Amino acid sequence: GNTARIHDFTITADCQRVISLDSEGMIVVWNINTGNQLLNLRAPEGYVGGRLCVGSQGRNLAYNLGQSKIWFTQMKSESSQSD
């Protein structure tokens, strides 16, 4: 899970997952109902803070790295729903 201060978080449109971003660039996807971690991601090198944004289907994640850079990834885990 996150070990540093939470910098941002967002909830998926289906209200099943919350995604947290800490000050060290660790992104964690959590199951809201169980509290279990579903996925851990690490921001690319150069992370200096930013905001999370999740796509309407709950699979695509983007966040602002600061300094006018945006990073995109697909969240894949055993519990991911198909789009």
β-bridge pairing 52-54 and 37-42: unpaired
pLDDT of residue 61: 79
The helix or strand, by DSSP H or E, that contains position 30, with its residue range, turns out to be: strand 26-31
pLDDT of residue 36: 95
Fill in the amino acid letter for 46. Answer: G
CA distance 45 to 31: 27
**pTM, two decimal places:** 0.74
Report the sign of the C-alpha dihedral through residues 75, 55, 23, 46, in that order.
positive
The tens digit of pLDDT for each residue in 7-55 reads 889 998 889 999 998 888 888 999 999 999 998 988 777 666 677 888 8
